[in-house]
Chains A and B, each alone.
Chain A
Amino acid sequence: EVVMTQSPATLSVSPGERATLSCRASQSVSSNLAWYQHKPGQAPRLLIYGASTRATDIPARFSGSGSGTEFTLTISSLQSEDFAVYYCQQYNNWPPLTFGGGTKVEIK
């Protein structure tokens, strides 16, 4: 099973600032990595797939990079609606699909 590790667990950021979230895989997942945004009581929302491709209607301030075992999600200028929990997920070696533990982006 591929273990996904996200850091940090919590990120305190002021609106307008840049946020950088990390995700590491225990073995190579190539570029088969997705990022999701999750707000309480809502369905998770796909942000990035293929490690770097923005999903439909996702603002350009969200960008993804990396391949193999190291990945990054960057939010260039945080808006109020971006405060949420972010998960990475690999879909290269499955079953099972595996997820990181999440990074909570909170208001500083």
Chain B
Amino acid sequence: QVQLVQSGAEVKKPGASVKVSCKASGYIFTSYTMHWVRQAPGQRLEWMGWINAGNGDTKYSQKFQGRVTITRDTPATTAYMELSSLRSEDTAVYYCARMYCTSIRCYNVDHWGQGTLVTVSS
């Protein structure tokens, strides 16, 4: 069965960076795209960006442009999200989520990771 297993909780100081991993199994990793979504306390889910696991193409939300980097390791079937210059407002649960896309269109997100809590505190 499809599984997305994320790395464990992190505590970081302001100005530091964090890298969250998302290990995929149960499907052909390179046939899907992977998105990263976060949810800060009391806030709605917020899309950060995505990667085409096949060709490595990425696109980021304007809000996070310059601070977020999404990568993947195809032999390890793992996607990564790195967020730099952390501030207290980045305290949130970060999720990876799988989406199927063809050359013509993309479909819905169908599987999510369990989430990784990142706490930014001095």
The answer, among A34, A43, A95, A99, for a CB contact under 8 Å with B61, is A95
- State whether the Cβ of B59 lies closer than 8 Å to any Cβ in chain A: yes
Task: Determine chain A's interface SS by DSSP, over half rule.
Answer: loop
Interface residues of A in 34-59 (CB under 8 A from B): 34, 36, 41-46, 49-50, 55
Task: Determine chain B's interface SS by DSSP, over half rule.
Answer: strand
Q: Mark B75-98, 1 if CB is under 8 A from A, else 0.
A: 000000000000000000001010
The docked-state distance in angstroms from the alpha carbon of A63 to that of B113 is: 24
User: Knowing A43-B4, A43-B95, A91-B108 touch, does A99 contact B44 (C-beta < 8 A)?
Assistant: yes
- State whether the Cβ of A65 lies closer than 8 Å to any Cβ in chain B: no
Give the bracket for the number of chain B residues in contact with chain A.
20 to 34
Q: A46 near B35 (CB under 8 angstroms)?
A: no
B37: A residues at CB distance < 8 A: 97, 99
User: Whole-angstrom distance from the CB of A44 to the nearest CB of chain B?
Assistant: 5
The docked-state distance in angstroms from the alpha carbon of A42 to that of B115 is: 7
A55: B residues at CB distance < 8 A: 110
User: Whole-angstrom distance from the CB of B119 to the nearest CB of chain A?
Assistant: 16
The docked-state distance in angstroms from the alpha carbon of A43 to that of B111 is: 8
A96: B residues at CB distance < 8 A: 47, 61
The docked-state distance in angstroms from the alpha carbon of A97 to that of B97 is: 12
The answer, among B4, B46, B108, for a CB contact under 8 Å with A46, is B108
B59: A residues at CB distance < 8 A: 95
Q: A97 near B47 (CB under 8 angstroms)?
A: yes
User: Knowing A43-B4, A97-B35 touch, does A49 contact B45 (C-beta < 8 A)?
Assistant: no
8 A–B contacts, CB within 8 A, in A order: A34-B108, A41-B115, A42-B114, A87-B45, A91-B107, A91-B109, A97-B109, A99-B37
**Contacts A32-B108, A91-B108 known; 8 new A-B pairs at CB < 8 A:** A34-B109, A43-B4, A43-B113, A89-B45, A96-B61, A97-B109, A99-B45, A102-B44
User: Top 8 closest A-B pairs, CB basis?
Assistant: A99-B45, A49-B108, A43-B112, A97-B47, A34-B108, A96-B47, A101-B44, A44-B112
